[in-house]
Amino acid sequence: MCGIIGYVGPRSAVQVIMDGLRRMEYRGYDSAGLAVVADGRLAGRKKAGKLTNLAAELEVDPLPGSHQGIGHTRWATHGGPTDANAHPHYSADGRVAVVHNGIIENFTALRHRLEADGVVFQSQTDSEAVAHLLSQGLATGLDLLTALRQVCLQLDGAFTLVALDAQAPDRIVAARRNSPLVVGVGQGENFLASDVASFIEHTRDAIELGQDQVVEITPDSVKVVTFAGQVAPTRPYRIDWDLSAAEKGGYDWFMRKEIYEQPRAVADTLLGRIDADGRLCLDEMRIDRAKLRSVDKIIIVACGTAYHAGLIAKYAIEHWTRIPCEVEIASEFRYRDPIVNASTLVVTISQSGETADTLMAIRHAREQHAPVVAICNTNGATIPRESDAVIYTHAGPEIGVASTKGFTTQIVACYLLGLYLAQERGIKFGDEVAALVRRLAALPDQMQQVLDGLDQVAELARRQIEARSVLFIGRHVGYPVALEGALKLKEISYLHAEGFAAGELKHGPIALIEPGLPIFVVVPPQGRDSLHDKVISNLQEVRARGAWTIVLAERGDQEASRWADCLIELPIVPTLFQPLVAIVPLQFFACELATLKGYDVDQPRNLAKSVTVE
């Protein structure tokens, strides 16, 4: 979760680090800090709270000039968000500074061992132990790279570590296990970071760091070895988005900007998917056709918003492929002894590509010899690297913690996978697949139509500013839309919000209905007569009990409009595609309500963008 950056080169290390931390503050904002090497000594500052607190501290008490340093913005795990628990952490002799992302599971045993050696800890964190262990290694004559390698062999858990040695000028070392780390390669300068957004202003050339690897950077070199000390091959790649994509572009919040970017993001996800012969092609599909034809079950594994995308995908994939499809919460998947074998296709969905629970699910699936397809937005992340195939969503950077364009592009990528499987298994002919892809290609314009009519939703948010609870209901693909609408509201406005399958109302949830309670109702397109009519009945049921109904229905649906206190019209689209237009006003409502309440929309309390610990 936490954001990490390291820099060595001719620029001001403090300036590079602070700029990088600002672009990664979405990864954690409980505290922030940095350390630099100047005149053979370490100097650092760290403060609890948001990055502005650290910036203010540096204004009052600036650090000495330096061209080598590390920085950190924290999402707290071990120890509360205090100055003492903020990173970097230092060895007792003042020689080593360390920043850390992840959890060191055997921290307690390590701490007891170090305290028995006379080490006095200054914080409650698991991270500080690494600084003391490194110091002990350096005291025996090891260089920093070797010392960090040996420390990593003692650690259990998931971690990214970046370390400075005051006696090693122009040199930074880092290591990773089950936690993100990327190297930025510049001209006479190099970078280390959790996220390429932190250094993209300076370079778009990057190197993937593999599992259980240690890297040493100087201004002119990058050296990568395994934890065992073997030289590791590097895999350079080019970052395909620029700095402006990570800026707000005139919007008050990144989340609002990302809501409005969805038509372009969906179009980019679809770009170049049909070849010259009219067949759907997925560039990173490295599973051979015979293997795909032998698949007899699909399991989609994901967390949070990505899980909701998977629930929507299930309807489409089963409809198009006739293969049974299950959707699992990643944190539960491997603990329930799932039935997975070589004929099971496991599909994982993760915006960051670093979600710890999803990554563990992949590894479990591969142990059972199941082929794995990753749907991901982040090139070079761990999950796509450890999967047999990947469909990149090409959504561009998503900075707001509450996912928006990540969700809609994940749905589209899942649809592409379903159509590809139908094509390769002979369930659908090429012209049928191409026709459906063309229908998908029309969705960006239809999503834009929704975006152009959001003034009504802004007014709705103003009317509901005093609401204490909000419910959402839907059927078929509208049910996961209801779940996602409720999640968005919970995430950023801190309201009680629940999504229900409309058919379950009479099995309990209808007891929650009271006069004036706002309830969003996602009505299926009129072309699905039975579904449509059943939801209209549910709408009448809640309206009869005094609920204030906010109805999302396709344009021209007179029956739905009869029972709506507030009607939000949607473009006419096929039922399976309706989530892509229906979710937009729900995202916007959550954003607008949180803004009116004065909350930080991009950095909601207790949340971080990328959940890289279990």
Contact 472, 520 (CB under 8 A): yes
Contact 215, 223 (CB under 8 A): yes
Give the CA count within 13 Å in the CB-facing half-sphere of 333.
27
pLDDT > 80? residue 77: no
Q: What is the pLDDT of residue 340?
A: 93
Can you tell me the distance from the alpha carbon of 86 to that of 73, in angstroms, rounded to the nearest whole number?
8
Give the CA count within 13 Å in the CB-facing half-sphere of 18.
21
Contact 566, 550 (CB under 8 A): yes
Tell me the pLDDT band of 57, cut-offs 50, 70 and 90: very high
Can you tell me the distance from the alpha carbon of 209 to that of 292, in angstroms, rounded to the nearest whole number?
30
Give every CB contact of residue 417 below 8 A, 6+ residues apart in sequence. Answer: 282, 313, 317, 347, 373, 375, 391
pLDDT > 80? residue 612: no
As beta bridge partners, residue 345 has 298
Q: What is the pLDDT of residue 378?
A: 80
pLDDT > 70? residue 614: no
Q: Peptide bond before 88: cis, by omega within 30 degrees of 0?
A: yes
Encode pLDDT of 284-333 as tens digits. 888 988 999 999 999 999 999 999 999 999 999 999 999 999 999 999 99
DSSP, residue by residue, 195-247: SGGGTTTT--EEEE--TTEEEEEETTEEEEEETTS-B---EEEE--S-GGGGS
Q: What is the pLDDT of residue 245?
A: 67
Q: Residue 591 corresponds to which amino acid?
A: C
Encode pLDDT of 82-120 as tens digits. 999 999 999 999 999 999 998 898 989 999 999 999 999
Tell me the pLDDT band of 569, cut-offs 50, 70 and 90: very high
Range with lowest mean pLDDT among 36-40, 137-141, 143-147, 528-532: 528-532
Q: State in Å, rounded, how far the first CA of the chain is from the last one.
A: 11
| H or E element that contains 152 | helix 144-152
Q: What amino acid positions are annotated as catalytic residues? A: 2, 609
Nearest to 372 by CA among 351, 390, 388: 388
Q: Which two tokens stand for residue 385?
A: 């690297």
pLDDT > 90? residue 539: yes
Other C-beta atoms lying within 10 Å of the C-beta of residue 102 = 24
Domains annotated on the chain, with CATH: 3-246 (3.60.20.10), 254-441 (3.40.50.10490), 451-596 (3.40.50.10490)
Can you tell me the distance from the alpha carbon of 553 to that of 578, in angstroms, rounded to the nearest whole number?
10
* pLDDT mean over 129-142: 96
Q: What is the pLDDT of residue 301?
A: 96
Q: What is the pLDDT of residue 246?
A: 66
**Tokens 């998917």 label which residue?**
273
DSSP 507: G
Encode pLDDT of 508-538 as tens digits. 989 899 999 999 999 999 887 789 999 999 9
Phi and psi at 317, nearest 5°, equal -65, -45
Distance of CA 200 to the CA centre of its chain: 19
Can you tell me the distance from the alpha carbon of 350 to that of 307, in angstroms, rounded to the nearest whole number?
9
Helices (H) and strands (E) in the chain, counts: 20, 24
As beta bridge partners, residue 33 has 46, 72
